[in-house]
Chain A
């Protein structure tokens, strides 16, 4: 069966520091991969998605970037964090039938 991992689970970072969040999927090949952000008490904002290695689509202009160095690995990065980057970051994997399954998430607090 398929499983999706995210780490770290929680992170507290100072403003201006870099960020790297990792997501990996097991048990499937060539999945679609997604990064979402959820502010406290709010909805799901799609940040990036990827349909293959090295293929990244950005949904919202911001100081974040994404990379997919391997088929089942998706990384979210920032060179300098802003206070507004705080939130719950969710990775998801999807099939060609468009069903998506979410990872456990990373809770990021920028101080």
Chain B
């Protein structure tokens, strides 16, 4: 079955700098890759997703890139702000009607 590895597990950046979180997946049939943000005590919220027919997608300060050949995808956050502090999860899906999640990255934005 699918396996998703996420790195780093914790990430600390200065406010205004960029943050990058990386994930790799094992199943070449996977074709959908969402990213979720979970604030403390809250539910995970979908922030951006990408499908295998595109290589990059951007939404304001957030972007996701996908390399199908290498089977990895990344989340990029530019001009980080304190409210970006949260745990971020990547996931992959390949038609089995379920997502396989990475282990999560705790992002801390230092003022």
Residues of A whose CB lies within 8 Å of any CB of B are 32, 34, 42-44, 46, 49, 51, 59, 90, 94, 97-105
Question: What is the CA–CA distance of A32 and B96 in the complex, to the nearest angstrom?
Answer: 11
B34 and chain A: residue at smallest CB distance? A99
Question: What is the CA–CA distance of A51 and B96 in the complex, to the nearest angstrom?
Answer: 10
A selection of 26 A-B contacts at a CB cut-off of 8 Å is A32-B97, A34-B98, A42-B104, A43-B102, A43-B104, A44-B44, A46-B98, A46-B101, A49-B98, A51-B97, A59-B98, A90-B43, A90-B44, A94-B97, A98-B32, A98-B95, A98-B99, A99-B32, A99-B46, A99-B49, A100-B34, A100-B46, A102-B36, A104-B42, A104-B43, A105-B43
Question: What is the CA–CA distance of A103 and B6 in the complex, to the nearest angstrom?
Answer: 24
Nearest Cβ on chain B to A48's Cβ, whole angstroms:
10
Nearest Cβ on chain B to A108's Cβ, whole angstroms:
14
Residues of B whose CB lies within 8 Å of any CB of A are 32, 34, 36, 42-46, 49, 89, 93, 95, 97-99, 101-104
Residues in A with CB closer than 8 Å to B34 are 99-100
Question: What is the CA–CA distance of A57 and B50 in the complex, to the nearest angstrom?
Answer: 26
Question: What is the CA–CA distance of A51 and B95 in the complex, to the nearest angstrom?
Answer: 13
